[in-house]
Chains A and B, each alone.
Chain A
Amino acid sequence: MSDEDDEALTWAGGRDPSHYETPEPTVQKPSKRAKPDAATDDAEADQPEDEDIPPSMSSVLLVTLGIFAGVFALYTVGWFVSVQRFVYFALGPLEQFVFDAQEWLAVLAAPLWFALALLLTRGRKPAVRLIWLLIGAIVLIPWPFVLGR
């Protein structure tokens, strides 16, 4: 009892032979590498989080991509709402079918552009990726929604 009290009130670093000032080395990584076949998936899944974050993917770029994702999501909603309340009677059945198809293609435009802009610019400069997203954000503005239609 008295020993525990003493330990609580004094710094043991000077006397304890097992105490080291340096931080303990992490032992997780060697253990992972020791069995590469069994834990390949785990190792691959963990690596990007631990150490292999590419330097090009800065936090600013991530935030900008997130903003663009939000913009494109809003565009999708805007087109969807417009298409839902848009009433248009074409001259003939073919024209009507084409217009109906075009309405749904317009809803699909924003998510498809976003996905393709990111997929096809993999490995390119961040500026190039953002420029493609910016072009999409300009081209795909849901004008019927803006115009109140």
Chain B
Amino acid sequence: MSEDAAVAPHAKYGWPSIAIAIVFGLLYAYVLFGALSNLVSAPSVYGSQTPWALLIVDVALPVVVFVGALLLGLRQRIGYRVLLFVAGACVLSCATVASIAYVLTI
């Protein structure tokens, strides 16, 4: 909390925040990697029924969400920065689970 209080008013982006961004960036990159491998492998499985829009959204979403969480957290204290990245991971999880649920209906 003392760290929070030190960071809060001036929105400094110190080493702890950079480390948090890197850790969550790696997690998001894992999701991005999975989406990319789906984009490559899905057409051979689903043929003409390939859900291209969904595959492309799943690839774009990790990047968009990471940038969004990073920018929204710039003015916040470090605790909120972590929570924003966690919320971003939740949004990505929703997209992943929903994508799998949709693909299983094809």
Using CB atoms and an 8 Å cutoff, list the residues of chain A in contact with chain B. Answer: 79, 82-83, 86, 88, 98-99, 101-103, 105-106, 108-109, 112-113, 116, 119-120, 139-140, 142-144, 147-149
Using CB atoms and an 8 Å cutoff, list the residues of chain B in contact with chain A. Answer: 30, 72, 76, 80, 83-84, 86-87, 89-94, 96-98, 100-102, 104-105
Main secondary structure of the interface of A (DSSP, over half): helix
Min CB distance B58 to A, Å, is: 12
Main secondary structure of the interface of B (DSSP, over half): helix
Q: Is there contact, CB below 8 Å, between B90 and A106?
A: yes
Q: Is there contact, CB below 8 Å, between B94 and A109?
A: yes
Q: Is there contact, CB below 8 Å, between A83 and B90?
A: no
Q: Which residues of A contact B94 (CB under 8 A)?
A: 79, 105-106, 109, 139-140, 142-143
Q: Which residues of B contact A108 (CB under 8 A)?
A: 90
12 A-B pairs within 8 Å (CB atoms) are namely A86-B101, A102-B96, A105-B89, A109-B93, A112-B83, A112-B87, A113-B87, A120-B72, A120-B80, A140-B91, A140-B94, A142-B98
Q: Which residues of B contact A83 (CB under 8 A)?
A: 97
Q: Is there contact, CB below 8 Å, between A109 and B87?
A: yes
Q: Which residues of A contact B92 (CB under 8 A)?
A: 102, 105
Q: With the chains together, A13 CA to B52 CA distance in Å? A: 85
Q: Which residues of A contact B90 (CB under 8 A)?
A: 105-106, 108-109, 112-113
Q: Is there contact, CB below 8 Å, between A82 and B101?
A: yes
Q: A105-B89, A105-B93, A106-B93 are in contact. Are A144 and B101 (CB under 8 A)?
A: yes
Nearest A residue to B30, CB-CB: A98
Q: With the chains together, A119 CA to B76 CA distance in Å? A: 11
Q: A116-B84, A120-B80, A147-B102 are in contact. Are A102 and B91 (CB under 8 A)?
A: no
Q: Which residues of A contact B97 (CB under 8 A)?
A: 82-83, 86, 99, 102-103, 106, 144
Q: Is there contact, CB below 8 Å, between B87 and A116?
A: yes
Min CB distance A90 to B, Å, is: 10
Min CB distance A83 to B, Å, is: 7
Q: Which residues of B contact A88 (CB under 8 A)?
A: 100, 104
